[in-house]
Amino acid sequence: MSPSTETPRGTPLTVLAVDDERPALDELAYLLGRNDHIGHVHTAQDATTALRLLRAHTIEAVFLDINMPGLDGLELAGVLSEFAQRPAIVFVTAHDDRAVAAFDLGAVDYLLKPIREERLAESVRRVVEARATVPTPAAAQSPEQDEVIPVDLGGVTTMVARSSIGWVEAEGDYARLHTSGGAHLVRIPLSTLAERWSDAGFLRVHRSYLVAMGLVTGIRSVGSGVAVSLRANGESPAVELPVSRRHTRDLKDRLVRAPRQRGTP
């Protein structure tokens, strides 16, 4: 067995690997079987077999290919979201353009093929940690639950917590997330994030900017316009951003009405 992570070992996990291509499935099952945190690996080449195994066994995590005939991986994950005891889901795919949809379904991780054993070990570590902190059904439905955004860092897809984001900048059909640890470009339009995060303490102040209201320290006149000031968010420097005329009243109203606290995602 390979030493996989520094996460303390608990009860070995029973997992399910799903891939319609037999060589890929065999490799995934082999690598999972080498991990110290994995006790048993079930395998399936289609969604029907996967669902049968999930109903017959207690399975803590599913390592799931996305592009499969019939019910694909995203659709199968949607079915699993209705389970009373939902297994953790890790998507394993050769395509990097489905990450947003995958994390919208609550995936713990998103692995790109070809699979590297050390990267798979990181996914297993995340599964172990997720299983140790499974929320109650009420908490799982809470709008205050922190959302995570998949970002690509050097070819590795990782997750950025919304609570770490101070402001977002539009770049065409992309958005740049400015966080306590740096900036990350994601393939999500700013308009989508503005709508999705409107109840989580974020406000669009300009066609190019979305800000976390909890970091706003004030607004001031700049020439014929207005600018909003944000305090430093962790390692990120304080920043001043322009406010468009059409968003100025919304910003002022929010500053007056809302308690000045960070919107917890």
pLDDT per residue rounded down to tens, the chain (265 residues): 444 444 445 689 999 999 999 999 999 999 999 999 999 999 999 888 888 898 888 999 999 998 888 778 888 888 887 777 789 999 988 877 666 666 777 788 888 888 999 999 999 998 998 877 654 443 344 444 567 777 776 666 667 888 889 999 999 888 999 987 788 888 888 998 998 898 888 999 999 999 998 888 888 888 878 898 888 666 566 789 999 999 888 888 877 765 444 444 3
Report pLDDT for 4: 42
Tokens (6 digits) for 253: 């109203």
Whether 50 maps to a domain, the answer reads yes
Q: Which domain holds residue 187?
A: 151-257
Angle between helices 47-56 and 73-80 (to 10 degrees): 30
Q: Are the CB atoms for 205 and 243 separated by under 8 Å?
A: yes
Q: Is residue 144 part of a domain?
A: no
> Do 111 and 49 sit in the same domain of this protein?
yes
Q: Are residues 77 and 163 in the same domain?
A: no
| 52 and 109 in a common domain | yes
Is the domain of 90 the same as that of 35? yes
Q: For residue 5, tell me if it sits in a domain.
A: no
The structural domain count of the chain equals 2
CA distance 258 to 57: 48
* Same domain, yes or no: 119 and 163: no
Check residue 134 and give its pLDDT. 54
Listed residues 105, 134, 163: the one ending a domain: 134
Which CATH number goes with the domain that contains 206? 2.40.50.1020
Please check whether residue 139 lies inside any domain of the structure: no
pTM, two decimals, is 0.52
Q: Are residues 129 and 158 in the same domain?
A: no
> 157 and 202 share a domain?
yes
Cα torsion 181, 187, 191, 197 to 10°: value is -50
3 state SS of 234: coil
Domain final residue pick, 102, 134, 166? 134
Confidence (pLDDT) at 43: 97
The reply to whether 105 and 164 lie within a common domain is no
What does the pLDDT read at residue 108? Answer: 86
Kindly state whether residues 73 and 109 are assigned to the same domain. yes
127 and 158 both lie in a single domain: no
7 within some domain: no
- In a shared domain, residues 84 and 178: no
Give me the pLDDT at residue 31, please: 96
Predicted pLDDT of residue 154: 65
Say if residues 205 and 228 touch (Cβ distance below 8 Å).
yes
In a domain, 262, yes or no: no
d(CA 75, CA 231): 42
> Is residue 263, in this structure, part of any structural domain at all?
no
- Asked if residue 264 belongs to a domain, the reply is no
Domain CATH code at residue 58:
3.40.50.2300
- The verdict on 39 and 119 lying in the same domain is yes
Q: What is the pLDDT of residue 204?
A: 94
Domain stops at, among 134, 166, 181: 134
